[in-house]
Amino acid sequence: MIGILAVQGGVREHELVLDELGVQHRQVRRVEHLNGLSGIILPGGESTTMSKLLELGGLLRPLIDALTSGLPAYGTCAGMILLASEVLDTRPDARCLGALDITVRRNAFGRQVDSFEADLDFHGIDSPVPAVFIRAPWVERVGDGVEVLATVPSGPASGAVVAVRSGRVLATSFHPECTGDARVHEMFLAMVSEAGYVHEV
C-alpha cells in the first residue's frame, strides 16, 4: 500500500500512475492514514503551504517519525523540498522533514513562465527520462551518502542537480507523473519492495 500525501498539490497525477502500474494506494491526510503503508509519495504543490498544513493537522511529527523509522518516500518538486534538511529562499515558518541530507533552493529555475522540459540521463534507468520542470527547485548541496541520479544537461542551469537518492528516500525536482513515463515511479516501487517495510501507527 502506497500513500500519497494529500494535504495540497498534484495528488491525482500520482494516483493515475499507480493505477496504471496496478499498485494499491490511498490518500494521506491524517495520522491514521500512515498505518499499514509500505511507502509514501509527496507530490508537487506549494511547499510552504504543505508544511503549514502538515503542522496544523498534526501530521508533521508523525510523518517525520515514520520516515525516521524507515518508511520509503518519493518526493517530486515540492515533495523534494519537504524531504530536504535545508531549504533556501523559503519563508521563515516553513518546516521540512529532514529525510534527505541536501540543501535545496526553492523556485530555483524561476517563475511559472520559466517552466521547461528536458530529457535527462538518469542513473539506474537505461534511456533518457523526459522531465517537466514547473517552478522547480534544484539541489545546491549533497550530503554524505546521498547519490546524485540526474543533472540538467544543457542551458543556463547546466549541471544543476535535479534527482537524488539516499537509502529509502528518492526525490526529483521535476514531475515524471506528468509525462506518461512511469520508470521513476517503478524505481521507487522497487525500493519499496526491497525495503519490505510496513508502517504501524
Q: CA 43, CA 80: separation in Å to the nearest integer? A: 9
Determine if residue 29 is labeled as part of a ligand binding site.
Answer: no
Determine if residue 40 is labeled as part of a ligand binding site.
Answer: no
Determine if residue 20 is labeled as part of a ligand binding site.
Answer: no
Determine if residue 46 is labeled as part of a ligand binding site.
Answer: yes
Determine if residue 106 is labeled as part of a ligand binding site.
Answer: yes
Residue positions annotated with a catalytic role: 77, 175, 177
Determine if residue 194 is labeled as part of a ligand binding site.
Answer: no
Find, among 114, 143, 129, the residue nearest to 175 by Cα: 129
Q: Residue 133's beta-bridge partner residues?
A: 116
**Torsion angle of C-alpha atoms 175, 178, 179, 180, degrees rounded to 10:** 130
Which of helix, strand or coil describes residue 184?
helix
What contacts 24+ positions apart, CB below 8 Å, involve 30-36? 30/57, 30/58, 30/59, 31/58, 31/59, 31/62, 31/201, 32/201, 33/3, 34/3, 34/62, 34/63, 34/66, 34/71, 34/199, 34/201, 35/199, 35/200, 35/201, 36/1, 36/198, 36/199, 36/200
- Which residues define the annotated binding site for L-glutamine? 45-47, 106, 134-135
